[in-house]
Amino acid sequence: MIPMGRKAKPAHLHLLEGSKSHRSNDELEKRKQAEEDMNFKDDAVRAPTWLRKEAKKHFNKLVKEFKGSGLLKNVDVNALALYADALLDYIECTRTVEEEGFTIEQTNKAGATNSIPHPLLTKKKQAFDQMSKLMGEFGLTPAARASLARNMINEVKEDDEGNKFGGRV
| In the chain, where the domains are located | 50-138
Q: How confident is the model at residue 10 (pLDDT cuts 50, 70, 90)?
A: low
The answer to whether the beta carbons of residues 135 and 83 sit under 8 Å apart is: yes
> Is residue 111 over pLDDT 80?
yes
Q: What is the mean pLDDT of the chain?
A: 80
Give the torsion through C-alpha atoms of 78, 53, 61, 92, to 10 deg.
-90
What does the pLDDT average to over 14-21?
51
Residue ranges of E strands in 63-146: 103-107, 113-117
User: Hey, which residues does 103 pair with through a beta bridge?
Assistant: 117
| Whether pTM exceeds 0.85 | no
pLDDT at residue 54 in the model: 97
8 to 12, 21, 71: CA distances (angstroms): 12, 12, 17
